[in-house]
Structure 1
């Protein structure tokens, strides 16, 4: 199997395969010990080779399975999140986030607009020609002020979408670039829109890696209303 094909598999399957590879490695360890006890040196060498190979495969599968958590494959335009906004007080908002898998999350932000940022991974040409699409992971949501002076002195609110203490594909690429050799570029993409009471917004990600945000028709009308 080409290594890029592993990225098409869900992280759960990769972790299951890592467990299978670990069991194979442990079996080879026991067999190696038996060959050494029986002084079968040639057979022991063969078992040692299989042991090393099994251990390396276990690390690769486990590392990829853990690092790919939170990443999704990009199609032409992939839904990322829907946002419903309610005002709590001037420049203070309650947002309900709706994920494509049906999960929801309620957060509060300060400012005049919301901003969503994502980390996008794009592959080099050979991998892209092989049909491997870019990957993305939402990084954070924050409040944004229209006035730069408010931005400097107002309350700052940032919601981190990363799992606390979780290993990440970005970390894997930085520490072990040889494990993910066909990466062309890792970059950030962000988008923001004004907040209005009872506003509804959708955020999607293009295959190019650009985030796109759209308010619904009613929200567009509210944004256009003079203050």
Structure 2
């Protein structure tokens, strides 16, 4: 990823701005020291206020940027994850998740279908008009049974895909809503498809915040004709 692409990530932008403001606060602190040594107390007071303001804003942007980790800009239709499935035993599956950056994760699910869910953050109109796109973060993947009775009684598998440290933008917005006044709504979106042996699926997220799951042509044929007919 080149530097331009990095700067398009909201978390990176906020953290870079936080670092710049922290540097400015340090420069103001040095200037404040010189003004005090020179006996210019009135000028020192102005630098003290500016130093405090830069530091407070740096902390605010730094916390927001740290909480944004795991979220991505949502374009017209953004790739979220590809999924490869292989059967282990009846209603037991091995899945390989392939992220847009090429990294992978292996996991196992029980059920007839896989289901993936994401958290979507939508900005208020002024932020949208300024060009700020919605954000999303994958939350979990789980197995789903076709039979509702089996869904209620059979073993279920739910695997989290969110932040490992349990703190992110959603937590920040819930605990300190005034910290992010431009947030309009935070909601969930999900999609599921039947599991077939050798299946390959692509999950994308549309601009309106809806997850879209698509099988490739061979997988769609297996879904349509599960017995090979």
Compute the TM-score of the two structures, normalised by the length of structure 2: 0.87
Q: Which runs of 5+ in 2 are unaligned?
A: 1-6
The aligned counterpart of 2:3 is none
108-117 or 21-30: bigger deviation = 21-30
The aligned counterpart of 1:171 is 171
Q: Distance in 1 between matches of 2:25 and 2:164?
A: 30
1:146 alignment partner, SS class: coil
Task: Let me know the Cα RMSD of the aligned residues.
Answer: 2.0
Q: How does 1:62-73 map to 2 (within 5 A)?
A: 62-73=62-73
Listed one character per residue, the Cα deviations across residues 164-209 of structure 1 (whole Å, up to 9, x for unaligned) are: 2153111222222223212221100000111110001111111011
The aligned counterpart of 1:80 is 80
Q: Distance in 2 between matches of 1:223 and 1:9?
A: 37
By how many angstroms is 1:65 displaced?
1.6
Q: Does 1:161 align with 2:177?
A: no
Q: Distance in 1 between matches of 2:8 and 2:94?
A: 36
Q: Does 1:194 align with 2:197?
A: no
User: Aligned pair count?
Assistant: 221
Listed one character per residue, the Cα deviations across residues 115-173 of structure 1 (whole Å, up to 9, x for unaligned) are: 00001111222222232221111111111111222222222211211122153111222
By how many angstroms is 1:72 displaced?
1.3
1:107 alignment partner, SS class: strand
Q: Distance in 1 between matches of 2:33 and 2:178?
A: 32
The aligned counterpart of 1:94 is 94
The change in CA–CA distance for 1:128 and 1:24 in structure 2 (over 3 A counts) is closer
1:59 alignment partner, SS class: helix
Compute the TM-score of the two structures, normalised by the length of structure 1: 0.88
Q: Distance in 2 between matches of 1:164 and 1:127?
A: 29
2:193 alignment partner, SS class: strand
Structure 1 moving runs of 4+ over 6 Å: none
Q: Does 1:105 align with 2:101?
A: no
Q: Which runs of 5+ in 1 are unaligned?
A: 1-6
By how many angstroms is 1:67 displaced?
1.7
By how many angstroms is 1:27 displaced?
3.5
The aligned counterpart of 1:4 is none
Q: Distance in 2 between matches of 1:175 and 1:45?
A: 34
